[in-house]
Chains A and B, each alone.
Chain A
Amino acid sequence: MPTRIQKQARQDTMLLNMGPSHPAMHGTIRVMLELDGERILNSEVEVGYLHRGFEKTCEHRTYFSLLPYTDRLNYVSPLINNLGYVMTIEKMLGVEVPERAQYIRVLMSELSRISDHLTCLAAMAMECGAFTVFLYKMKAREFLWDVIEQTTGARMTTSYIRIGGVRADLHPDFDAVLKKAVEETRLVLKDVHGLLDKNKIFLNRTRDVAVMSREDAVAFGWTGPCLRSTGVSYDVRKAQPYLVYDRLNWDVPLGERGDNFDRYLVRMKEMEQSLRIIEQAAARIPESSRGFIAEGMAPAQAIKESRRQRVRKDIALSPNLEGSEEARYPDILASDKGFVVPPKEETYTSIEGLINHFKFFMRGHGIRPPKGDVYFAVEGGNGELGFYIVSDGTDRPYRLHLRAPCFHIVSSLEQLIRGRYVADVIPTFGSMNMIGGELDR
Chain B
Amino acid sequence: MTEEKKKRPPAGPFITTQFNTLLGWARKFSLFHYPFVTACCGMEYMSAACAHFDIDRFGAGWTRFSPRQSDMLLVVGTITQKEAPVLRTVYDQMTEPKWVIAFGTCAVSGGIYDNYAVVQGIDQIIPVDVYIPGCPPRPETVLDGLLKLQEKIQHQDHDWRWKKKRS
Q: Are B113 and A138 in contact (CB under 8 A)?
A: no
| Interface residues in chain A, defined as those with a beta carbon under 8 Å from any beta carbon in chain B | 20-23, 26-28, 48-53, 56-57, 68-69, 72, 75-76, 119, 122, 134-135, 138-139, 141-142, 145, 155-157, 436-437
6 closest residue pairs by CB, A with B: A75-B40, A138-B50, A27-B38, A53-B117, A53-B115, A23-B65
Contacting pair B117 A142 (CB below 8 A): no
Known: A20-B86, A23-B65, A156-B136. A138 touches B51 (CB 8 A): yes
From A23, A27, A156, B43 is in contact (CB under 8 Å) with A156
Q: Is the CB–CB distance between A50 and B51 below 8 Å?
A: no
Inside 8 A of A68's CB, which chain B residues have their CB? Answer: 112
When the two chains form their complex, are residues A28 and B44 in contact, meaning their CB atoms are under 8 A apart? no
Judge whether B120 is part of the interface by a CB distance below 8 angstroms: no
Q: Is the CB of A157 within 8 A of B39?
A: no
From A50, A76, A119, contact of B38 by CB (8 A): A50
Q: Is the CB of B51 within 8 A of A135?
A: yes
Q: Is B78 an interface residue (CB 8 A)?
A: yes
How far, in Å, is B38 (CB) from chain A's closest CB?
4
Given A49-B80, A50-B83, A52-B117, is A76 in contact with B43 using a C-beta cutoff of 8 Å? yes
> Complex: how many Å from CA A139 to CA B89?
34
Given contacts A21-B36, A72-B39, 13 further A-B contacts (CB under 8 A): A23-B65, A26-B37, A27-B42, A52-B113, A52-B117, A53-B113, A53-B116, A75-B39, A138-B51, A142-B50, A145-B47, A157-B40, A437-B40
Known: A53-B113, A69-B112. A139 touches B86 (CB 8 A): no
The reply to whether B39 and A138 contact each other, CB–CB distance below 8 Å, is no
Contact B86 A21 (CB under 8 A): yes
Chain A proximity mask over B135-149: 1 for CB below 8 Å, otherwise 0 = 110100000000000
Contacts of A48 in B (CB 8 A): 82
How many Cβ-Cβ contacts under 8 Å join chain A to chain B?
94
* In the complex, residue of chain A having the shortest beta-carbon distance to the beta carbon of B134: A157
B52 at interface, CB cutoff 8 A: yes
Q: Given that A76-B43, A119-B43 are known contacts, is A27 also in contact with B113, CB under 8 Å in the complex?
A: no
Complex: A24 Cα to B118 Cα, angstroms: 23
Bound Cα distance A357, B110 (Å): 30
List B32-80 residues whose CB lies under 8 Å from chain A.
36-40, 42-44, 46-47, 50-52, 65, 77-78, 80
Task: List CB contacts (< 8 Å) of B98-114 with chain A.
Answer: 112-113
User: B117 contacts which chain A residues (CB < 8 A)?
Assistant: 51-53
| Contact yes or no, A437 B135, CB < 8 A | no
Cα separation A155 to B89 with both chains bound (whole Å): 32
**Which residues of B does A touch, CB under 8 Å?**
36-40, 42-44, 46-47, 50-52, 65, 77-78, 80, 82-83, 86-87, 89-90, 112-113, 115-118, 135-136, 138
* Contact residue among B42, B118, B136, B138 (Cβ-Cβ distance under 8 Å from A52): B118
User: In whole Å, how far is B160's beta carbon from the nearest beta carbon of chain A?
Assistant: 30
Q: How far is the CA of A267 from the CA of B115 in the complex (A)?
A: 36
Contact of A156 among B44, B50, B113 (CB under 8 A): B44
Q: How far is the CA of A72 from the CA of B40 in the complex (A)?
A: 7
Cross-chain contact B83 with A20 (CB below 8 angstroms)? yes
Given A23, A49, A122, A134, which contacts B82 in the complex, CB threshold below 8 Å?
Answer: A49
Verify B37–A139 contact, CB threshold 8 A.
no
Interface residue from B40, B52, B112 paired with A138 (Cβ < 8 Å): B52
Question: In the complex the two chains form, what is the Cα distance from A56 to B117 in whole Å?
Answer: 10
Shortest Cβ distance from A137 into B: residue: B50
In the complex with contacts A135-B51, A138-B50, A157-B135, A27-B37 CB distance below 8 A: yes
Chain A residue numbers with a CB within 8 Å of B50 are 134-135, 138-139, 142
**Least CB separation from B117: chain A residue:** A53
Query: Please, which residues of chain A bring their CB within 8 A of the CB of B51?
Result: 135, 138-139
How far is B78's CA from A119's CA once the two chains are assembled, in angstroms?
19
A26-B37, A27-B38 known; A157-B113 Cβ under 8 A:
no
B55, chain A: closest CB distance, angstroms: 12
> Whose C-beta in chain A lies nearest to the C-beta of B77?
A27
In the assembly, what is the distance between CA of A155 and CA of B46, in Å?
13
Return the chain B residue nearest A20 by Cβ.
B86
Q: What residues of B have a CB within 8 angstroms of the CB of A23 in the complex? A: 65
Give the CA-CA distance A437 to B112 in the complex, in Å: 14
Minimum Cβ distance to chain A for residue B33 (Å): 13
Please name all residues of chain B whose beta carbon is closer than 8 Å to the beta carbon of A135 when the two chains form the complex: 50-51
Residues of A within 8 A of B87 (CB): 21
Chain B min CB distance to A70 (Å): 12
Partner pick for A142 among B47, B65, B83, B136, CB 8 A cutoff: B47
User: Looking at the complex, which one of A22, A26, A52 makes contact with B80 (CB distance below 8 Å)?
Assistant: A52
- Please give, as numbers and ranges, the residues of chain A lying within 8 Å of B86 by CB-CB distance: 20-21, 49
How many whole Å from B34's CB to the nearest CB in chain A? 9
A23 to B63, CA, bound (A): 11
Interfacial chain A residues near B40, Cβ < 8 Å? 72, 75, 156-157, 437
The answer to whether B82 touches A52 (Cβ under 8 A) is no
The residue in chain B whose Cβ has the minimal distance to the Cβ of A126 is B46
Identify which of B38, B112, B116, B136 contacts A436 (C-beta below 8 A): B38
Chain B nearest CB, measured from A24 CB (Å): 9
Contact B39 A28 (CB under 8 A): yes
Q: How far is the CB of B39 from chain A (nearest CB, A)?
A: 6
27 contacts between A and B (CB under 8 A): A21-B36, A21-B89, A26-B42, A27-B36, A27-B77, A28-B38, A49-B83, A51-B80, A52-B78, A52-B115, A56-B116, A57-B115, A68-B112, A119-B43, A119-B46, A134-B50, A135-B50, A135-B51, A138-B47, A138-B50, A141-B47, A142-B47, A142-B52, A155-B44, A156-B44, A436-B38, A437-B39
